[in-house]
Amino acid sequence: MKIGLFIPCYVNAVYPEVGVATYKLLDYLGLDVDYPLEQTCCGQPMANAGFEDKAIHLAEQFDHIFDAYDYVVGPSASCVAFVREHHPDLLKKEGHVCRTSSKTYDICEFLHDIVKVDKLPGRFPHKVSVHNSCHGVRELHLSSASELNIPPFSKVKDLLSLMEGIELFEPAYVDECCGFGGMFSVEEPSVSVCMGQDKLRNHIQTGAEYITGADSSCLMHMQGVAKRENLPIKFIHVTQILASGL
């Protein structure tokens, strides 16, 4: 099984430790992992800002770079969701059939659904509140969406529960948006901050020491609000917890 490691722009630039943790996990599980150095942005920022045509070349490049791999795996629910849900339509405009979208996975769903990990080494003896990002819930189905009234599930919690000593919590309004939303946080900063404050309050009320999730962008937004307001909570990407014993 040949894995192409997809590391989104902001992870590469701001949270490289998340990319390293993702590699460590895949390598520990005995998978053949390659990191193509020529990869660039998947095109999500351009499309979200209303410049969809600017994303077409990036989608073509992504498809070319990762076509040779059996799976493409990345530590970002939002970027993976963009590749899976929107690359096919973008490339259709150029008469190009997308070959990589269906085999592109977020690291959590890949470990849970494809590799079916049932044990990991190490301890994380901390109280952790799980943040369910909008893309992760409603496009990748990493957890159940409350509005569907279906039996609750969480692939992220299933994986985290493999760590010895961890105590897992979820906030009230479990899948409510944190307010980041990419361009939304730029265009509507006041509303975005208020949403972030509400979300943080709910996470902190669980008594957790850490907030974790599958999207560094959401964690970054909440971390910014927490830092400005000196709130007593720490942030860590789910891959960093899962790789803590490697």
Report residue 175's pLDDT band, with 50, 70 and 90 as the boundaries.
very high
Q: Are both 2-115 and 127-242 of the same fold?
A: yes
Which residues, 6+ apart, have CB-to-CB distance to 138 below 8 Å? Answer: 145
Beta bridge partners of 74: 106
For residues 117-142, average pLDDT: 96
Determine the angle formed by the axes of helices 53-66 and 77-92, rounding to 10 degrees: 100
Mean pLDDT for all residues in the chain: 95
Rounded CA separation 169/207 (Å): 8
Separation of alpha carbons 75 and 109, rounded Å: 10
Average pLDDT over residues 119-130: 96
Other Cβ atoms closer than 10 A to 220: 15
Sequence spans of domains, the chain: 2-115, 127-242
Q: What is the pLDDT of residue 49?
A: 87
May I ask the CATH class of domain 127-242?
Answer: alpha beta
Q: What is the pLDDT of residues 79-117, one digit of tens each?
A: 999 999 999 999 999 999 999 999 999 999 999 999 999
* pLDDT band, residue 235 (cuts 50/70/90): very high
| Third-level CATH fold of 2-115 | Rossmann fold (3.40.50)
pLDDT-derived band at 183 (thresholds 50, 70, 90) equals: confident
The answer to whether the CB of 10 falls within 8 A of the CB of 231 is: no
Taking only the tens place, the pLDDT of each residue in 15-65 is 999 999 999 999 999 999 999 999 999 999 999 888 999 999 999 999 999
187: confidence class by pLDDT, cuts 50, 70, 90:
confident
Rounded-to-integer distance, Cα 242 and Cα 99, Å: 30
pLDDT band of 243, cuts 50, 70, 90: very high
- The verdict on pTM exceeding 0.85 is yes
End-to-end CA distance of the chain: 21
Q: In this predicted structure, what is the pLDDT of residue 7?
A: 97
pLDDT of 186 strictly over 80? no
Helices (H) and strands (E) in the chain, counts: 12, 8
Give dist(CA 182, CA 45) in Å, integer: 7
The token duo for 244 is: 């803590």
